[in-house]
Structure 1
Amino acid sequence: MSSATLPAPATRLSPLILACLGATWFVWGSTYLAIKWALVSFPPFFQMGTRFVAAGLVLGLFAHWRGAAWPTREQWTSAFVLGALMLGCGYGATAFAQQSISSGLVVAFIAVVPAVVALFELPYGLRPSRLETAGITLGLAGIVLLTQGEGFGASGGGLLAMALACTGWCAGSVWAKHGLPGGRKLELAPGAAGYASQMLAGGLLLLALSWGAGEQPTLPPDARSFACWVYLVVAGSLIGFSAYMLLLQRASTALASSYTFVNPVIAMVLGVTVGGEVVGGGEMLAAGIVTASVVLLLAGRR
């Protein structure tokens, strides 16, 4: 979708935008732990592929029941391009990396998404506002402080996977909003049908990667792993990913990417309450800095 077809920015965030922000902030913040626990029984590409195929089928059937038209060939092409970038690279590579690198390093990579998105938008003549730039800078500072003391030992393959994940996700986010460099638009089917086609396309590509890598899931799966997989399908994909795609259509990319600053704080809270981790004064200060960065991003939306 080109910037010319986007609705004019509102001076206030609508309840729908606020609900979508809440989904990407809080729901996605809980998925890192769920992915890690699901890896016990479901290898990374298989886990992500089955997750998105299942979510895409459910959402596609819902869209069909609501009378949505079947996507055209052009719309399916766009779905495969964005699915390969955002789901294949973004989700698949992140799950692969979590096998060998620390959670702190995963957080650090994901936190640079708004800054990388801003770089990808430069060729379109778009630059973040002063408040958005301040929010991005402050958020990065908070994430750096939050990850101090984390184990940053990592394999070369894990680092490469996270770099690929961030690049693919940022490119897909920008191209979904503004079109490919050169002016060609990437047009998904409207509404739920478009999100479903993207999930199905990306999920099938991930399953092809799983087959090529020779992955073998553990059957029957561990009970906790299976419960986490179901949670990822429902909360992470059907709710969280659909909310993010809607944000890309109706809000600035900087605001849509603000989840990358909030998710580490949510992950930290879950680590304390569920994982039994201990949080010190430095981490609490970092959480406050991250919260301030989100306030700046929200103000920059105006």
Structure 2
Amino acid sequence: FTYRLNTLRQVFWHKEEAAPPARPAALLRWDEVPEDFVECFILSGYRRLHCSAQECLASVLQPTNETLNFWTHFIPLLLFLSRFGRLLLLRGAGDVPFHHPALLPLWCYASGVLLTFAMSCTAHLFSCLSPRLRAAFFYLDYASISYYGFASTVAYSYYLLPGLSLLDAGVLSRYVMACPIMLESLIFDLRTRNPTLFVYFYRRYFWLLVAAFFNVSKIPERIQPGLFDIVGHSHQLFHIFTFLSIYDQVHYVEDGLAEFLKAAPAAPTYLGTVGYMLLLTVCLAVVVRRFLNVADLCKQD
């Protein structure tokens, strides 16, 4: 009996070692995943819940409904890394070294852009690890968008607001400060003074409107549910037009930097740039932690 048992064990171990690697799990339909994981009008292409990190990484090369959500932000992330690397590290901003105070707002802005794309990639890639991690990643994704918005304001305040022709930024009301660059363009004829910047400025807002349209309307998958599950659904289009809007924004931030370096009215300080960004980071971390503590999803793990 012992001899036969050992023989069976050897045969079993041999088969286990010779077995081919496990095939990726089949994709699921909308009614096979938790309700919170279902996207409107997306009927198939869902990854199973509780995938391993290795399975999540492998899924970027598989046709799931998250694959292009990842790539439409990962490729722009690489493009912006290259662009900001040239500006900040390879003297793309002129003869100013990377540690010069004049570049502090650009460092803040670059960190906001890169963090937004990196966090979105992470959220879409690892959203099927667990309900708690999915919630955490997407809360951090939303927080990174807030970080980017504030970082853009820091760059505007130093590189673009000082260049206003007639408008004194110090006397603007709190309601008008929300769109100072728009006022500069409308009131002081940006088309005549800087035609190239005019194109980038208005084209950016056109891309934002198109991105918002796709994000809200859920077109085209609303028209033909199931047809655009893998390629062409609204969130992928939202990503593409968001990238185009930020790409145009970088142009006029860079143009503002060039003008700022010619005659800087006041050198940026660490407290007024990096200090504010660190304070915002702490505040966002507290908010995200609180949301995770009260979210029902956290209790499902």
TM-score class, shorter-chain normalisation, is under 0.3
Q: Which has the higher contact order (CA 8 A, sep 6+)?
A: 1
Question: Which structure has the greater CA radius of gyration?
Answer: 2
Q: Normalised by the size of structure 2, how large is the TM-score?
A: 0.25
Q: Normalised by the size of structure 1, how large is the TM-score?
A: 0.25
